[in-house]
Amino acid sequence: MGLGGGSSSSSSGGGSSMGGGSFQREGPPGGPPTDAVVKWFNPEKGFGFVELGNGSGDAFLHIGVLHNSGRDSVSPGAKMKVTVGTGQKGPQVVSVIEVDESTATQAARPAGPRGPRPARAQIDLSTATEVAGTVKWFSPDKGYGFVATGDGAKDVFVHVSILEKAGLTGVNESQKVSMRVVETPKGREAVSISLAE
């Protein structure tokens, strides 16, 4: 006799419980924007880490996220506004909203093969000597090259800025040049250059 009552209760109340599901989709996947500072980033490896401004530690930054914001790399010390989510290994940047490179610490970048920059300020032009030589190689992309002098001493470093002062866009391998050369802590460096006749 009680079978009829059971069927009526199963059809009631089903509609009201379905509405709660929509609340899970609020906000971006990374949550609210968070301030962060780049600790380090290696474009060759394709990742780095940022320190989150809310005190929750570091977050992983993948190069793919940077590409989405139109950038290939960021410098250590640069300020960022990011959204952060939880990845397989902990917090990770989900999106980059903005980057402020004005706070980047330039000193953290490796000096690399860019030449003896620190020595540039210490050059004493009064010690410069006239030297003739032959261009060994010069790379416009790298912004420097070397000239062999044939006097048994080390090759002379030539920076692109010296060529620009002389009105030259570049020099070719085996080209004869005349230079004024100074000794620096890193070796001989041209302070002026001209093409030999």
Number of domains in the chain: 2
Per residue in 78-108, pLDDT (tens digit) is 999 999 998 887 899 999 999 998 888 754 4
Tokens of 194: 């001209």
Q: How confident is the model at residue 116 (pLDDT cuts 50, 70, 90)?
A: very low
Residue 5 lies in a domain: no
pLDDT over 90 (residue 59): yes
Q: How confident is the model at residue 130 (pLDDT cuts 50, 70, 90)?
A: very high
> In whole numbers, what is the pLDDT of the chain averaged over residues?
79
Identify the pLDDT of residue 184.
Answer: 84
Please say whether the dihedral angle defined by the alpha carbons of residues 131, 136, 139 and 144, taken in this order, is positive or negative: negative
CATH number of the domain within which 158 lies: 2.40.50.140
Of the three residues 43, 75, 108, the one that is the final residue of a domain is: 108
pLDDT over 60 (residue 197): yes
Domain of 168 in residue numbering reads as 117-195
pLDDT over 50 (residue 55): yes
The bridge status of strand 47-52 relative to strand 58-62 is: antiparallel
Identify the pLDDT of residue 82.
Answer: 93
Identify the pLDDT of residue 22.
Answer: 39
Cα–Cα distance measured from residue 154 to residue 175, given in angstroms and rounded to the nearest whole number: 18
Cα–Cα distance measured from residue 71 to residue 36, given in angstroms and rounded to the nearest whole number: 16
Identify the pLDDT of residue 122.
Answer: 56
Identify the pLDDT of residue 149.
Answer: 92
> Is 96 in the same domain as 152?
no
Closest CA to 29 of 98, 100, 87: 87
Of the three residues 80, 108, 136, the one that is the final residue of a domain is: 108
> Is 171 in the same domain as 127?
yes
What is the share, in percent, of the chain residues with pLDDT greater than 70? 75
Residue 125 lies in a domain: yes
Helix, strand, coil % (nearest 5) of the chain?
A: 20, 40, 40
Residue 180 lies in a domain: yes
* Alpha helices (H) in the chain, listed in sequence order: 3-10, 63-68, 117-120, 160-165
Residue 16 lies in a domain: no
Residue 12 lies in a domain: no
What is the share, in percent, of the chain residues with pLDDT greater than 90? 43
> Is 123 in the same domain as 100?
no
> Is 122 in the same domain as 191?
yes
